[in-house]
Amino acid sequence: MYKFRVLLTCFVVVAVHFRLVHCLSDEDKKILRDGLDSIAHDCLHGCGIDGKELDNLDANDSIECFKKCFMTDAGFLDLNGKYNKDMLSESLSKVTGNQDNAERILNELDRCFTENGDNSEANEDAFMKRIDILFACMREIRE
Domain boundaries in the chain? Answer: 2-142
pLDDT greater than 50 at residue 34? yes
Write down the mean pLDDT value for the chain: 76
pLDDT greater than 50 at residue 105? yes
pTM attached to this predicted model: 0.71
Per-residue pLDDT, averaged over 28-33, amounts to 64
Region 2-142: CATH code: 1.10.238.20
- The pLDDT of residue 18 is 47
CB neighbour list of residue 58: distance below 8 Å, 6 or more residues apart? none
Per-residue pLDDT, averaged over 44-60, amounts to 67
Question: What whole-number distance in Å separates Cα of residue 93 and Cα of residue 139?
Answer: 20
Q: Model confidence over 64-77: pLDDT tens digits?
A: 888 899 899 999 99
With DSSP H G I counted as helix, E B as strand and the rest as coil, what are the percentages for the chain, rounded to 5?
75, 0, 25
CB neighbour list of residue 121: distance below 8 Å, 6 or more residues apart? none
Per-residue pLDDT, averaged over 13-33, amounts to 55
pLDDT band at residue 125 under the 50/70/90 scheme: very high
